[in-house]
Chain A
Amino acid sequence: MKKVFQPTAYLLVLLCCYALNAADDVPMKAMRDEMARSKNLQLAGLSKPYFIAYRIQDMDTTAVVASLGSLLSSQTAHTRVLLVDLRVGDYKLDNTNFMSFATRQVGGLNHSEQIALDDDYKEIRRRIWLASDAQYKRAVELLAAKQAALQNQSQGDDLPDFSQEKPNKYFQADKPAAVDVAALEATARQISAVFRRMPELQSSQVTITVHNVYTRYLNTEGTEYTLFDPDTSVEIKATTQAEDGIPIDDSEMMFFSLPAELAAGDLTARAQQMVARLEKLRTSGTLDRYNGPVLFEGEAGAEVFAQSFAPALVASRTPVTDNPRAQAFLEQMTTRFGSGTLVDHISGRVLPDFITVVDNPKLDAFQSKRLTGTYAVDEDGVPTRVNTVVESGILKLVLNGRTPVSGATQSTGSRFGVSAAPTNLILTTSKSSNPQELRRMLLERAKARGSDYGIVVRRAGGSAGDFIQAAMAMAQGGGPVGNNMLEVVKLYSDGHEELVHGLQLQSMTAASFKDIVAAGDQQFVYSNVFIPGFSSLMMVGLSGDASAISGLPVASYVVPSLLFDDATLKRASGPFPKAPVTTPPPLSGN
């Protein structure tokens, strides 16, 4: 029997190999062939690499920007980038997780460079050869510097630098599609023309970005994958100034898979809603300060969850440095603002017991709304999985890549961009209330505090750009800046509402979420760019690798309305920009 089956089995293996090799395109083959040589990189007296990963990404990006119906810019770029992650030492101690202030070098970030767009085997291999050589030399130098730095300091823990993961293979075909730039330009013009009707706007812009990425990955552990990740986003933003001088910035980002999914009509309607909202806000009142219960209603619940809670569910390791003062500063900053703040709370209560949070990369839609964080493998090629992050209020794990942190020493298949990131975070409740009940609870709590109104936040607003600005402001040494809350209403006990503008949410941190008192019975989908924690941002900043920022992942959040017992809102303080000195030329009616 065995003898009969053996040839078949052999044939099967052969066929399988054949299929795999057929899937090798020119860049993949070049990586595979050069990797075989690079394993033997060695300088006299120093060790060979123990891990090498190559990644070649083809990126086709089209970005069109329009304002008031007129095009501001239209750019198309095709790039092919080679990334090399080369490690010397061993899994326990290698050249990564290290920042050298003395030499301005960072160990742990991938080296990246643009390579040939043509499938020119020889030229691609030549670039991989040179990049591997440079990375090897850099890695052995960094490892020596790191070992020297470690001799002068005692590390409290004994964490390995890199987790061991099982090899994994995953292949997805490239589906390059021509992008109709003229059609995108027309759509951007059409949406942006909506703002012509509001002369009080100081600026308005519509940006459509189509970003198609095809990735090939290979490492020395036997993991390989190819991934096609198309992504189309639309950002609509507008700025005006309220009559009291406070600036009002509104922005919205929408994510699609393919440009064909853009429905100009829907997007135009969103722009119209923005105009209507800004018109009301511009003439609304404001409020000096409010301490008390706040209801984040509808999408605002997801927004505040994404801004203030989600980043804390991600592991972030503070790197070793050769400068003890810088190290202390980094640790302080990471604790204060960064993510990973909840890692020490594993098995501890971080949310009320009626809330469970699951990170689910396997879902691609929720109630027919698209979710953006759908992946089979993460960027390290680790298979993604459904991670129950918080169960009945208790923190079970934090999301991590292959950089171990205390309490999270294995990858959860969550490395996206420069750090770990959530994919689709789904918040479910075992106890929920309908919108009327939530409002009633808000008013009761407000009344108990002696206030005749409660605060309802309907839209936090703000897009990735604002987050980056806020991160920069924090990094510059200021305290945490308040988050602007765009659409806020005072809800009075008789049921009437009063819109207010210019309020910032103060000191809302991950810890504040323990005090959620109720959640709604309907979940809302919200997607936005995930901004990694402070130390990851700092590593990128120091290395000057701006391309890392452009590759930030987009996460989706499925969250109901959330009622907080206690939050602080404060009026934004100036200086605000001066109003224009002269009158603008008229815009023709639309």
Chain B
Amino acid sequence: MAQASGDPLLANLQTELHRSFENLKNQPVPVYFLAYQLTDNRAIQVTASFGALISSNDLRTRVLDVDLRVGNYTLDNTHAAESGYTMASLSARLGRVPMPLDNTADVLQRSLWEETDRKYKIAVERWQDVKTATQVKAEREDKSADFSHEPPRQYSEPDAPFHFDRQAAEERARRFSAEFAKNPSVLEGTVEISGEVETRRFVNSEGSAIKISMPFYRIIIDGSARAADGMELPLHQTYLAFSPEALPSDDQVLKAIDGMNVTLEQLTKAPVAEPYTGPAILSGRASAVFFHEIFGHRIEGYRQKSEEDAQTFKKQVGQHVLPDFISVYSDPSEMRIGKEDLVGYYKYDDEGVQSGRVTVVENGVLKNFLMSRSPLAGFPNSNAHGRRQQGYDVAARQSNLIVEASQRVTRAQLKQKLIEMVKAANKPYGLYFDDVEGGFTFTERDTPNAFSVLPTVVYRIYPDGHEELVRGLDLIGTPLIAFSKIVAADDEVGVFNGMCGAESGWVPVSAVSPGILISQMEVQLKGKSQEREPILPAPSLKIGALPGSSR
């Protein structure tokens, strides 16, 4: 086995991995693969609301993930459970052995052993089920192996520097959130400032030993107002970066909150949108989320293997799935684009596979999937997209999804095209989705394969060119139809940095896209609470003055 240089903890993991592997290799049900991933996380998080601190926490955690396989690379205990979301994996998550925070070698090794023993017992049970299932059930369509062969990797970097002044952050959160107090229509106005540093140590029985250490800083701003009809109007602004310097300056944040105040005020007065289909423009950020949801989740490899999944693209490799002028690649090794950090960045994935650029769609033609070490027919290897939140089983997930257009127009030209389409289709207006908070999609066979993108700022664009802010709608559709309706892209590239939650937990991801024009898009009304406005006006120190009653 390769020796990890310099890092005593990594060496510790290797020692126990080696010892346990040797012991378990010789059991009646032998282990053929064993991996430990030890994730150290230190996170400081402060939140303030309307100028007052509401929470301030500093938390250290250490979590061990054991990947233990019995059987062989072709068929093993993980068979048919690649989605990582089975009852077995749920029970494996519960009752895990807590890891010591102190680096006491013998205690750590004992904890590793204890968790390994627990996972071995679960694996042996699972293996019995797999062997029975392969005999009594029909063969799966995809006959690919359960685990890919990958070269062992050794890499170690020092602990990332972590600069986070908790008191200063508390002061900033207070100062930022106090901005919301200027706007009487705002009911919730919070600012969260956080910093964390995560160090992942990975060793496996094939000889890999990897240590990567990454800091992560963010500012999350939430403001919400309520319209007179009870509709909640949330606005979010998230900044994520790998260094404090890459976050916006105080002035920029304050300016952004002022902008949110203005938009919230406008939203409370904006008309409620109607269900509509017709041409629409998605800004770069909106389009990035659109691609992440409807495209990105459908190229995650294991979904093509799962017989429960709709496998939208499985048989379409080499065929056109997007317009000619669109190419898509996924590149976890890209740390930033322009000045913006891409939070889906990593050097090695959570199975120790080295990251690099993966061309997914070239000039509209599907080329590849995002692969973990769970192979697919025709795709026997990982391309470093095996990811997890600590405590979950690895699955193929997105990282940095980058959409490029070979033909681009300006935003103004894109709007002009939209107006032409509105007129041609004899529609009263088109829609412009300026900002979104996120979205979701279903990819299983037993649910309609729909997606939804949740916009926060939407304008109607009328044939005469004037724009009107509206509220209360979600963007919906089905993937294949939506792809076929993309007609143009602009030159304003937007970046969406966010957290993506799926079978293997929450992982940071980025999506990058130009603004796009879609010839036909459908929107539906947002869910709306029945809550009325508060009965009494907001408390005021001056009796008689009724701030907030202007509506």
Contacts and interface: CB of A to CB of B under 8 A. Distances in A.
A588 B106 contact: yes
A118 B117 contact: no
Contact of A118 (B97, B98, B106, B174): B174
A203 B100 CA distance: 12
B535 A133 contact: yes
A43 B187 CA distance: 20
A37 B536 contact: yes
A74 interface: yes
B113 A584 contact: yes
A74 B101 contact: yes
B534 A130 contact: yes
Interface in A304-352: none
A42 interface: yes
Interface string A119-157: 010111110111001001100000000000000000000
A78 interface: yes
Contacts of A78: 55-56
Interface string B523-551: 00000000110111011010000000000
Contacts of A72: 98-101
Contacts of A122: 50, 181, 539, 541
A46 B120 CA distance: 63
Contacts of B109: 585
Contacts of B50: 120, 122-123, 126
Contact of A129 (B24, B57, B536): B536
A125 B539 contact: yes
Contact of A130 (B55, B117, B187, B541): B187
A114 B532 contact: no
Contact of A70 (B20, B51, B102, B114): B102
A586 interface: yes
B20 A582 contact: yes
B53 A117 contact: yes
A505 B23 CA distance: 41
A73 interface: yes
A580 interface: yes
A542 B202 CA distance: 42
B117 A586 contact: no
A178 interface: no
A40 B117 contact: no
B107 A578 contact: no
Interface residues of B, number: 47
B412 interface: no
A115 B54 contact: yes
Interface string A543-583: 00000000000000000000000000000000000101111
Most buried by A among B52, B56, B58, B106: B52
B283 to A, nearest CB: 33
A20 interface: no
A130 B50 CA distance: 14
B285 to A, nearest CB: 31
B24 A581 contact: yes
Given A37-B536, A117-B55, A130-B534, A70 B104 contact: yes
B121 interface: yes
Contact of A587 (B60, B110, B187): B110
Contact of B101 (A40, A71, A77): A71
B110 A584 contact: yes
Contacts of B539: 33-34, 37, 122, 125-126, 128-129
A69 B535 CA distance: 57
B57 to A, nearest CB: 7
A76 B45 CA distance: 13
B55 A79 contact: yes
Contacts of B58: 76
A75 interface: yes
Interface residues on A, range: 35 or more
B27 interface: yes
A116 interface: yes
Interface string A55-90: 000000000010111111111111100000000000
Interface in B427-448: none
Contacts of B56: 78, 117
B532 A137 contact: yes
B138 interface: no
Nearest to B61: A73
Contacts of B114: 202-203, 580, 584
B16 interface: yes
Contacts of B149: none
Contact of B107 (A34, A70, A125): A70
A73 B101 contact: yes
A33 B543 CA distance: 11
Nearest to B541: A122
A136 B55 CA distance: 27
B99 A581 contact: no
A118 B52 contact: yes
A41 interface: yes
Given A70-B107, A114-B54, A582 B117 contact: yes
B190 to A, nearest CB: 11
B107 A581 contact: no
Interface string A199-237: 000110000000000000000000000000000000000
A114 B55 contact: yes
Nearest to B101: A71
Given A582-B24, A584-B113, A67 B52 contact: no
Interface string B65-107: 0000000000000000000000000000000011111101011
Given A117-B52, A585-B19, A69 B104 contact: yes
Contacts of A77: 57
A116 B110 contact: no
Interface string A99-114: 0000000000000001
Given A116-B54, A582-B23, A74 B535 contact: no
B117 A581 contact: yes
A581 B534 contact: no
B168 interface: no
B49 interface: yes
Contact of B98 (A33, A73, A128): A73
Contacts of B481: none
Contacts of A202: 114
- Max chain A Cβ within 10 angstroms of own Cβ: one of B50, B53, B107, B120: B107
A583 B52 contact: no
Contacts of B531: 137
Nearest to B50: A123
Contact of A581 (B60, B97, B120): B120
A40 to B, nearest CB: 7
Interface string B36-60: 0000000000000111111111111
B538 A129 contact: yes
Contacts of A585: 16, 19, 106, 109-110, 113
Nearest to A584: B113
B415 to A, nearest CB: 40
A40 B121 contact: no
Contacts of A33: 539
A292 to B, nearest CB: 38
A209 to B, nearest CB: 16
A118 B53 CA distance: 6
Residue with the highest number of chain B CB atoms closer than 10 Å, among A40, A122, A124, A588: A122
Contacts of A126: 50, 538-539
Given A122-B539, A123-B49, 7 more contacts: A37-B536, A70-B104, A72-B98, A72-B101, A118-B52, A126-B539, A585-B16
16 contacts: A68-B110, A70-B100, A70-B104, A71-B101, A78-B55, A114-B54, A122-B50, A123-B51, A128-B539, A129-B539, A130-B534, A136-B535, A580-B117, A581-B121, A582-B20, A584-B113
Interface of A: 33-34, 37-38, 40-43, 65, 67-79, 114-118, 120, 122-126, 128-130, 133, 136-137, 189, 202-203, 578, 580-588
- The 9 A-B pairs with the shortest beta carbon distances in the complex, nearest first, are A116-B52, A120-B52, A70-B100, A123-B52, A582-B23, A70-B102, A118-B52, A70-B107, A585-B109
